Amino acid sequence: MAQTLKPDLCVIGAGSGGLSVAAAAAQFGVEVVLLEKHKMGGDCLNYGCVPSKALIAVGKHAHAMRSSEPFGIRPVSPDIDPQQVHDRVKSVIAAIEPNDSVERFTGLGVHVIEEAGSFKDRNTVVAGDYEIRARRTIIATGSSPALPPVPGIDNVPLFTNETIFDNQERIDHLIIIGGGPIGMEMAQAHRRLGARVTVLEAFTALSKDDPELTAIVLKQLREEGIEIIENVRIDQLSKIDGGIRADLSKDEENYFVEGSHLLVAAGRKPNLSGLNLEAAQIEYDPRGVKVNSGLKTTNKKVYAIGDIAGGLQFTHVANYHAGIVIRNALFRMPVKMSTAGIPWVTYTEPEMAHVGLDEKTAKEKHGNIKVLRWPYAENDRAQAEGATEGFIKVVTNKRGRILGASIVGEHAGEIIQMWALAISKKMKISAMTGFISPYPTLTEINKRVSYTYFESSLTSPLLRNTIKFLSKFG
């Protein structure tokens, strides 16, 4: 017979969101059961953020060796060992792994069950030899790579983000399907590690970001030798001696590309399979589980967080969702989800970061807006680092409230964080002129762009006459 457990919370999935809920609840003394059928840490630790950024870092070091001449250092062509690159990426995962391990969470008081979870009815989850009847259940099963409906894709060897980091051999020519952030990050990393790279994108590369920013990133990628083919249709994929052939159509012309390896980075799908959501009367669609603004499903005792809940698919969003669930499920606080202050970053070089509304959306929503810009080239630290390519762009309403910010350039992902705070707190642009930034730092661009909001007032006759009047009093 199955053993019955009656914890306060049952968490299905030990990715970033699920682990955050389990850890926080356990530290409050709440009884938690955590279910994970595969690897603790989920996609982010094992296949996503951690290994990809480790690989990007390796590529950045290789690129620095080739491009050191402007700094008075004779450039050299690095001798890249694919096995050692693989081992470096795996070592980064291993260094972080203990934080997400079964042992750590067991030590926190969480009952970890290494089995898949499936709903038996509205109130019961089955996992191996257990039946769990929790007061609240949280679905945090994440997402997986989606394979596009391309003829022949099932008959060719390919990488996804779940397998590319297991590669231990030299890649001669990598074909990448998908020109989104993952595709472009991997394109640059592998190009810098010595591979030829061709990116195939059905629409426009990096289409979810401001085209004014993406133009700078795409220019850099092409200058590094990456071939980016946009608005192309893949008619057939086939296996050939030594690799892969992609037959393509564009502008009524047919041609083909041959490569040694194929990476599919064309989107993700929610991990719904096996949950038996119908038994729990939980509604869902191909985008994920349907939730309200408090992340509750159509079964009010069940929440869904992270990628499985649709919307923005980022680790920090899953962690944000976890905080909402903890406040609601444990403290009954009527908190609601808001995407206004959620930033996202594309970790190419230069980096591209955004938070809030872009210029087009802000204009549609608010009508009269003000767009502020400041170039990296006008920043002293950027000049010292040789990182002058890029700019910051900030959008405010007519009264100066910050609506959105976008940055393309060195460390954009770090610099954007001040704007995420400002937007979440509904600050005005004047607040961004009040902080003291250490000199010389890249973050000074935040202050400099904010000052431009007031440029028109500097030439105001009223302001100048007021200054003259006040000067008469000594």
The verdict on 157 and 225 lying in the same domain is: yes
The verdict on 30 and 135 lying in the same domain is: yes
Residue 55 maps to a domain? no
Is the preceding peptide bond at 440 cis, omega within 30 degrees of 0?
yes
Cα Rg, the chain, nearest whole Å: 25
Separation of alpha carbons 192 and 64, rounded Å = 10
What's 168's domain CATH number?
Answer: 3.50.50.60
Token representation of residue 419 = 């704007």
**For position 299, what pLDDT does the model report?**
98
The verdict on 279 and 422 lying in the same domain is: no
149 Cβ neighbours under 8 A, 6+ residues apart? none
Q: Which range (84-88, 119-123, 446-450, 467-471) has the least confidence?
A: 467-471
Q: Model-level pTM?
A: 0.94
Residues spanned by the domain of 381: 344-458
What pLDDT, in 10s, does the model give residues 167-196? 999 999 999 999 999 999 999 999 999 999
The verdict on 9 and 140 lying in the same domain is: yes
How many domains is the chain partitioned into structurally? Answer: 3
> If you average pLDDT over every residue of the chain, what do you get?
96
The verdict on 430 and 357 lying in the same domain is: yes
* Residue type, position 373, single letter: R
Domain boundary among the residues 236, 251, 266 is at: 266
Q: Which range (61-70, 263-272, 320-329, 448-457) has the least confidence?
A: 448-457
Asked whether 297 and 283 are in contact (CB, 8 A), the reply is yes
The verdict on 257 and 318 lying in the same domain is: no
What's 403's domain CATH number?
Answer: 3.30.390.30
The verdict on 322 and 361 lying in the same domain is: no
The verdict on 129 and 214 lying in the same domain is: no
In 10 A of CB 151, how many CB atoms?
Answer: 12
